[in-house]
A = this chain, B = another copy of it.
Amino acid sequence: MRGAVLYAPGDVRVEDRPDPAIIEPTDAIIRVTAACICGSDLWPYRGVEKLDGPAPMGHEYVGIVEEVGDQVTTIRPGQFVVGSFWASDNTCEICRAGYQCACVQRVLMGTIGTQAQLARVPLADGTLVATPGMPDADLVPSLLAASDVLGTGWFAAVAAAAGPGKTVAVVGDGAVGLCGVMAAKQLGAERIIAMSRHAPRQELARQFGATDIVTERGDEGVAKIKELTNGLGAHSVVEAVGTQESMMQAIHATRPGGHVGFVGVAHDVALPGDELFNAVVHVHGGPAPVRQYLPQLIGLICDRTIDPGKVFDLTLPLEEAAEGYRAMDERRAIKVLLQP
């Protein structure tokens, strides 16, 4: 099969890789209908995360089940499935508490690489959720978004306690931040402030439910949020970047007693204890337990309530993955869909 491999910073190649096979009796093999490039893939692509030899890339996927192991009981060949970037058993105590991202048996799909024609999915019964029948082709991008960016934005909005009567600010205008706007809207937030200085992203944020746009960043961005919230700060802030500046911006923009939901993969971040102490905010985040939300998100997508697939503003054949990485790196594209 063909699959994308990162050889060095800036050097992504699509090449022949061995077809995956069932290893554990709980595995499934899927034919990937669509995969994509994640903002987090840019960390090793940019050399910020160390690369330990050539690495198969990709952890977001939708596809059709080809084959299942002997112990797979609910997932069947021929089903169209969506899965999270964490494979999880969905039965352990941590999964049952809704934190499938920390399943005691979890496997990171990024180590498998889903920017490929085929992929092995561990713990298939726990990991995969089948759609009701074969989805219309135009729903595929939205279902793919559910696999990571929508599920992650949703978790961030839930962690930020977005809901009726709340003012929600979103730091980060990448696909996850935009999906955080969409999630806040679906969760009933009264006012949603998107922080963005890019016109096309502002436009998408408004389509997804943003009521206000703030272009300022850092302390100026915080001052603007306070100005919009009677001097108090937002009830809920979604952080979807992962830098020191974005985390502090999120914490400082939240009112005392409010909630920060952070999902940007943290790089070189250290939160000063005294500032956290004096802020009196709730902080929750990390890798999203996307699996928890998949049944609900698939429902909202299939009944066409939400259309998160709009975050894909560039679609390329898998063979052109390298161009996809370049486009995201250079911020020419918000998010790139790859067709194997």
Chain A contacts to B: CB under 8 angstroms: 93-94, 97-99, 101-102, 104, 230-232, 242, 244, 247, 255-257, 262, 265-274, 276-287, 289
Contacts and interface: CB of A to CB of B under 8 A. Distances in A.
A106 to B, nearest CB: 10
Contact of A284 (B93, B101, B278, B282): B282
Contact of A93 (B93, B232, B283): B232
Contacts of A266: 272-274, 276-277
Nearest to A93: B232
Instruction: Give the number of copies in the complex.
Output: 2
A195 B270 CA distance: 26
B232 A280 contact: no
Identify the 9 closest CB pairs spanning chains A and B, nearest first. Answer: A269-B273, A266-B273, A102-B256, A280-B286, A99-B257, A270-B270, A271-B271, A282-B284, A266-B277
Contacts of A265: 277
Contacts of A267: 273-274
Contacts of A247: 273
A283 B282 contact: yes
A63 to B, nearest CB: 27
A204 B91 CA distance: 39
A257 B287 contact: no
Contacts of A268: 273
Contacts of A289: 257, 280
Nearest to A260: B283
Given A94-B256, A270-B272, A280 B99 contact: yes
